[in-house]
């Protein structure tokens, strides 16, 4: 059991590290500028390892830059969601009246189907990376806030909290010094789940043609390939559809493995819940 967890976690970490390096070093790794046009629909060759797409862009370079776009959106959304969700969760769990209000808002937003609403909003606004980030943020913080709150509800009844109160510790001090450190494992796992969710949602949205056309993510590359009428006509799918799809799969897989390993390590009482997203 323990070995399995460690192996899975390590595999996940290696996968994520590779993608992170590719994203950071994209301009140095990519053989071409992803917007530069060459011959259209070229088959893989030594010049274009994954061929070119319908407007003559080098697919490999598109994918390398796409790593940047996909990971950037997911990272920004999950980080902000984590900060906002954790803060609101702490407040909601510690202060009853405020908590009641915050939780009603969370309940309502969680009941409204997330993806259909995101699709509708995305079709109304001009697609850009920052607009996509803004849309995902509307829903990103909800689950974190709910989970952190329920944990805080039990933590605040512990004796050490009462003891700190008796010696005159302020609410803020208790939250910061005694409650926050205890919810960190939950926050970390939640951060990974949110990242998975955003990567899948963003690629889905882009696959439907709602991504930023100036900053191609993996989902956008897949979209372009999918709407190409001759995509199944020959072997084009091998270098145009499989690579972007596998990039998404491996990233999610890496995150899932790391999330699973972390969950088992940090909080063995918790049952694994890293998956179950709506895609």
Partner 1 sequence: MHQINKLAYYLVILFIILSINFSLPRVMPGDPLSYLTDPGADIPPARMTEEKMERLLAYYGLDKPLSEQYINYMVGIIRGDLGWSIYYSAPVLEVISGRLKWTLLLVGTSTAIHVTLGILIGATSAWARGRKKDMGLLISILSISSFPSFFLGILLTILFVIKLDIFPLCGAQTAFATYSSPFEEIFDILHHLILPVATLVISHIGGTYLLMRNSMLGVLGEDYIMTARAKGLSERYILHRHALANALLPIVTMTAMTVGFMVTGTIFVETVFAYPGIGNLLYNAVLYRDYPLLQGLFLFISITIVGANFIADMIYIRLDPRVKHE
Footprint of partner 1 (CB under 8 A): 1, 4, 8, 107-108, 111-113, 115-117, 119-121, 123-125, 200, 203-204, 207-210, 213, 222, 226, 232, 237, 241, 245, 248-250, 252-253, 256-257, 260, 271-276, 278-279
Query: Hey, which residues does 58 pair with through a beta bridge?
Result: 52
Within 10 angstroms of residue 97's Cβ, the number of other Cβ atoms is 7
Q: Which is nearer to partner 1, 17 or 249 (CB)?
A: 249
CB 199 to partner 1: min, Å: 9
Q: Decide whether 83 or 121 has the Cβ nearer to partner 1.
A: 121
Nearest residue (CB) to partner 1, 181 versus 276: 276
Q: Least distance (Å) from partner 1 to the CB of residue 164?
A: 29
Measuring CA to CA, which residue among 169, 175, 196 is closest to residue 75? 196
**Is the Cβ of residue 156 or residue 223 nearer to partner 1 in the bound state?**
223
Q: What stretches of the chain show up as alpha helix (H) in DSSP?
A: 2-24, 26-29, 59-94, 96-111, 114-124, 129-140, 142-155, 159-166, 171-174, 180-207, 218-227, 236-240, 242-266
Least distance CB 225 / partner 1 (angstroms)? 9
Close Cβ partners of 193 (under 8 Å, ≥ 6 residues apart): 143, 259, 273, 274, 277
Residue 243 Cβ vs partner 1, minimum distance, rounded to whole Å: 11
Q: What is the smallest separation between the CB atom of 263 and partner 1, expressed in angstroms? A: 12
Q: Which is nearer to partner 1, 136 or 260 (CB)?
A: 260
């Amino acid at each position: 059991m323990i070995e399995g967890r460690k192996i899975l976690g390590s595999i996940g970490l290696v996968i994520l590290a590779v993608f992170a390096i590719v994203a950071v070093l994209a301009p140095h790794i990519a053989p071409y500028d992803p917007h530069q046009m060459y011959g259209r629909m070229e088959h893989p060759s030594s010049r274009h390892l994954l061929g070119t797409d319908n407007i003559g862009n080098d697919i490999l370079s598109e994918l390398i830059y796409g790593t940047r776009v996909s990971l950037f959106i997911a990272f920004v959304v999950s980080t902000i969601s984590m900060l906002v969700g954790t803060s609101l969760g702490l407040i909601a769990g510690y202060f009853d009246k405020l908590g009641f209000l915050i939780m009603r808002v969370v309940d309502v937003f969680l009941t409204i189907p997330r993806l259909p609403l995101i699709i509708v909003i995305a079709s109304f606004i001009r697609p850009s990376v920052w607009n996509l980030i803004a849309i995902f943020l509307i829903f990103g913080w909800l689950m974190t806030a709910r989970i952190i709150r329920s944990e805080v509800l039990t933590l605040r009844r512990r004796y050490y909290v009462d003891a700190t109160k008796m010696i005159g510790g302020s609410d803020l001090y208790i939250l910061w010094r005694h409650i926050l450190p205890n919810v960190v494992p939950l926050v970390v796992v939640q951060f990974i789940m949110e990242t998975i969710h955003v990567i899948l949602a963003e690629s889905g949205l882009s696959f439907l043609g709602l991504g930023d056309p100036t900053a191609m993510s993996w989902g956008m590359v897949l979209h372009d390939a999918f709407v190409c009428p001759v995509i199944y006509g020959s072997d084009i799918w091998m270098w145009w559809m499989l690579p972007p799809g596998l990039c998404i799969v491996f990233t999610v897989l890496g995150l899932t493995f790391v999330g699973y390993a972390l969950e088992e390590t940090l909080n063995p009482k918790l049952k694994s819940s890293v998956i179950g997203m709506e895609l």
